[in-house]
Structure 1
Amino acid sequence: MKSDFLSIEEFIKKEKEKARKLKQTRWWRRQLERGICYYCGKRVGAKKLTMDHKIPLSRGGTSDRLNIVPCCKECNNKKKYLLPWEWEEYIKKLKSEKGDGE
């Protein structure tokens, strides 16, 4: 008897495919055009932005517009699998440094 439930690996594979399709949409191109990282607020340009899941797939997030944001590679690498509130202090620090330096 086959289960109706997906394994975590199957779920992640399915969601990654949805994300690849979303990257081809006009909506995603508009997100990139701004050239601004969702997390740190730096203007890095469209080509240096990556797609990030605010709630990571490995933590149950989905590849839906509400969960996907453009971010710089630095923030994406630092965030990894963390939930937004788990690295909120890091984000606050970045924003305060940005305010102090300008």
Structure 2
Amino acid sequence: MRKNEGWDDLSFGVDEAFIRAERNKARDLRRSRWWQQKTAPGLCHYCQQKFVPGELTMDHVVPLALGGRSVKNNLVPCCKECNTAKRASLPPELEAL
């Protein structure tokens, strides 16, 4: 695999400035009361296992690399394992993994 040939570099026609701006929006939302309430139950959106709320990560259901946005209806709490497995996939593709 060549140096810049990994999942982190995937962007299907989405410009870097867009991704950077959306990541900043996600950071702001992660500090919000809304996110605290989303993670309070401690449930991973994908595997439904229970975790300490601080162990949950923020996942874009439609990934930024595919044009997803950092808006409340596109952000879900998930465990590190599910987030890593999902990468730039859509939820139906995750079920196939």
TM-score, normalized by length of structure 1? 0.78
Larger helix percent: 1
* 3-state SS of 1:87 partner: helix
Counterpart in the other structure of 1:17: 24
* Superposed displacement of residue 31, structure 1: 0.8
Rounded to whole Å, the distance in 2 between the matches of 1:20 and 1:48 is 16
Q: CA-to-partner distance for each residue in 1:10-64, whole Å, 9 max, x for gaps?
A: 1000100100110111100001111010000000110110000001000110000
* Larger RCO, structure (CA 8 Å, separation 6 or more): 2
Q: Which is higher, the Rg of structure 1 or of structure 2?
A: 1
Aligned to 1:75: 82
Percent of pairs with identical residues: 46
Q: CA RMSD in A?
A: 1.1
2:4 maps to which residue? none
SS in structure 2 opposite 1:74? helix
Q: TM-score, normalised by structure 2?
A: 0.82
Structure 1: 5+ residue stretches without partners = 1-6, 91-102
Cα distance in 1 for residues equivalent to 2:94 and 2:23: 23
Aligned residue pairs, count: 84
Structure 2, gaps ≥5 residues long: 1-13
